[in-house]
Structure 1
Amino acid sequence: MKRVLFAWEIGDGLGHVSRLLPIASILKDNGVECAFVVRNLIVTHSMIVHAGFRVFQAPLVAPYAPPEVRDKVIASIGDVLATVGYVEPDKLTALTDGWAAIIDSFDPDLLITDYSPTAGLAAFGERPVVPIGDWFTLPPGNWSEFRTFKDAPNRVAPARLLETVQEVQRRRGKTLPDRVPALMHGARNFVVTIPELDPYHSFRENTEASPLQPLSAPTTQESVQDYFAYLSHGYAGTQKVLEALAASSWSGDIYLRDANEEVRTQWRKRGLTIHDAPRPIEQAVSDARVVIHHGGIGTLEQVLAIGRPQCIVPRHFEQQKNGEYLGKLGSATVMKSGNKFQPEHIVQAVSATLTQERFAANARAAAADLERRGPFNLLARITDYVLSTLNAR
C-alpha cells in the first residue's frame, strides 16, 4: 500500500489542517494510507482522528529570535524562519532530525506539506514533496532568496539562512539545497486561492492556483440582520470588537472560537447572540449585511463568493495583507493589525460597510465574477497529480 504523510509545521488556527484533510480523504478512498504530523495536536487531534487518520506531534520550537535580530521588523518569510531555528545550526539540526525520525518511521512514498519548510528540509533529496498553501505560506520556490513583503530590509541576511540550512545538511550527510525557498517548492506545488489574493502569482513556476474546492454560489436572499461575526476569543482585539457590537443598535450573531461557556454567557448578558458551535457558513453569511472576521483566506474567499461585504479585523500581518488585497476589490473595510484600534474605530468601519452601497455592490459584482470563472476544484488536480506520482513509483 502506498503511503502519504501530511505535514503542518508553522502557523495557527484550523486552516492548514482543514485544507489538508480533503486531500487525505480522497487518497484514502483510493487505497492510500495517510497520516498527519501537526503543529497543534490539541486543537486538531479530534478532527483528524474522526476522519480516520493517525496523527503525530510535529517537532517545533516556540518563536524566538536571537538578540541581534530580535527588535527588527519581520519583513519576509525568511525572517519568520529565523524565529524558528533557521539561524541556529544546533537547533535546526535537532528539528530536522526530529522530522526525519517521524518521516522514516512512517516511511511515506510522498509528503504533502502546508507551511512546513523543515519537513521539506528533512525530506530534501530523499522523497518527493508536494507543498500546498496560500501566498504567505507558500512563496515562490524558484526565487534565489525570500523577497521582502514590507518596505523594510530583511531582518536576517538571506545568506545566513542558507549557511545554516547547508550546515545542517552537512552534519546529516544529506543533499545541500542551493537556496532556502527550494524547501517550500517541492516537485510540484499548489496555491489554494484565486490570483487576486496572491501577489506572487506572476512569479510562480510549476504551480497551479485555484480555490481548493468549488466556492459557494452567490446568495440570492435578502439579509435579515446587520452582521455575522466569526472571531477568535484568544485575540486581544476581539474584546474591542465585542464591546462595539454590544454598545450598538445593530442586530447579528457571533461565533466566538476558543471561548468557553463562561465567556459566552458574559457576552450574552450584554445582549449579544453567541453560538456554541459555528453555523453553516453559507447561511450565516447570507443572513448578514456585513461579515466581520479576522481575514483568514478561507473565510475571506467564501464570503467573497457568497457576495457580502466584509470588515476585516486582522490578528497579524498575513491577515492584514489578505484584507488589503480584498480591499482593492472595493468590498471590504480593513482595520490595522496590532490591536491599536479602539471600539469606536470598529463602529466606524462597520457603519461604513453598512451604509455605503458601494461595498454591497462591489461584493455582489465580485461574487458574480467568481461564479463565471468557476467552478474551482484544485482538490481534483492535486489528488490526480499525487495518485499519478504514486503509481509511477
Structure 2
Amino acid sequence: MARVLLTWEYGLGIGYVDRLVQVAEALEREGHEPAFVLRDLVSTADFLRGRSWLVLQCPLSIGVLHPTQPSFSPGSYADLLAVNNFADEEQLFRLVAAWHVLFQALQPAAIVGEYAPVSALAAMGRVPYIAMGHGYILPPPDRAEFPIFNPALQRAAPQETLLETVRAVQRRLGGPEPASVP
C-alpha cells in the first residue's frame, strides 16, 4: 500500500477537493492510502467528515493579494502565479521548503495536485507528481510562456521573473531547474 498525497493550494470553494476526493476513493479501492494537504480545512471539513483520511493544512502565505479581489484582473495564469509568491524568491523559497518538510514527514510515493503549483515545484525531481485540472489552472506544458488571455491588462510581473524566481529557489534547495515555468 502506497501513500498518495492529494494537494490543493489556490482557488476558493470545494470543487477542487471534490475532484481530489474522487481520486482518493479510487486510490483507496486499489489499496492505497490517500492523505490530503489542503488550502482550507474549514470549508472542506463537512465535505470530508466521516472519512479516515489524514487531512493537513498546506503551506500558505497570508496577506498576499488574493486573485479574486475586485482590484485584481489577471491577464494570464502567470499573473496569478506572480501575486501568489512566484515573483518573490524568499516567499516562494519558504513555501517550497515547507512542502519539503511535509514530504519528508509523510513520505508519499506520489502526489496528485489540483491548482497546487507550489507543491508541484517542491516535488520536481523528488516525488512523482500528477497535475490535474482544467485549462485555466493547468496551462499547456509545451509552451515557453503562459498564454495571455487578456492582452489589455497590465502584467503582474514579467514571465521571465517567474522563471528566474523558480530557478533561484530550486538552486537554493538543490532541485532541478526547469527550462520554463509552464
The normalised TM-score by structure 1 is 0.43
Question: How big is the shift at 1:151?
Answer: 2.8
Higher RCO, 1 or 2 (CA under 8 Å, sep at least 6)?
A: 2
1:47 is matched with: 47
2:97 is matched with: 97
Aligned ranges 1:248-327 → 2 under 5 Å: none
Cα pair 1:45 1:55 within 8 Å, conserved: no
Aligned ranges 1:77-92 → 2 under 5 Å: 77-92=77-92
2:168 is matched with: 167
Question: How big is the shift at 1:105?
Answer: 1.1
Work out which of the two has the higher radius of gyration on C-alpha atoms and give 1 or 2: 1
Question: How big is the shift at 1:74?
Answer: 2.0
Question: How big is the shift at 1:53?
Answer: 0.9
| Distance across 2 between alignment mates of 1:74 and 1:24 | 31
Structure 1, unaligned runs of 5 or more: 66-70, 182-393
| Distance across 2 between alignment mates of 1:173 and 1:95 | 15
Q: 1:63 to 1:81 in 2, by over 3 A?
A: farther
Measured against aligned partners, the alpha-carbon deviations of 1:45-95 in whole angstroms (never above 9, x if no partner) come to: 342242321101011113636xxxxx7742111111111111111110000
The structure whose residues are more often helix, as a share, is 1
Question: How big is the shift at 1:155?
Answer: 2.7
Matched, 1:121 2:121: yes
Partner-residue secondary structure (3-state), 2:131: strand
Partner-residue secondary structure (3-state), 1:125: coil
Question: How big is the shift at 1:100?
Answer: 1.3
Aligned ranges 1:1-393 → 2 under 5 Å: 1-62=1-62, 64=64, 73-152=73-152, 154-181=155-182
Measured against aligned partners, the alpha-carbon deviations of 1:318-366 in whole angstroms (never above 9, x if no partner) come to: xxxxxxxxxxxxxxxxxxxxxxxxxxxxxxxxxxxxxxxxxxxxxxxxx
Cα pair 1:72 1:155 within 8 Å, conserved: no
Partner-residue secondary structure (3-state), 2:52: coil
Cα pair 2:3 2:107 within 8 Å, conserved: yes
1:360 is matched with: none
Letter of the 1:10 partner, please give it: Y
Question: How big is the shift at 1:126?
Answer: 1.1
Cα pair 1:9 1:58 within 8 Å, conserved: yes
Question: How big is the shift at 1:128?
Answer: 1.1
| Distance across 2 between alignment mates of 1:31 and 1:73 | 43
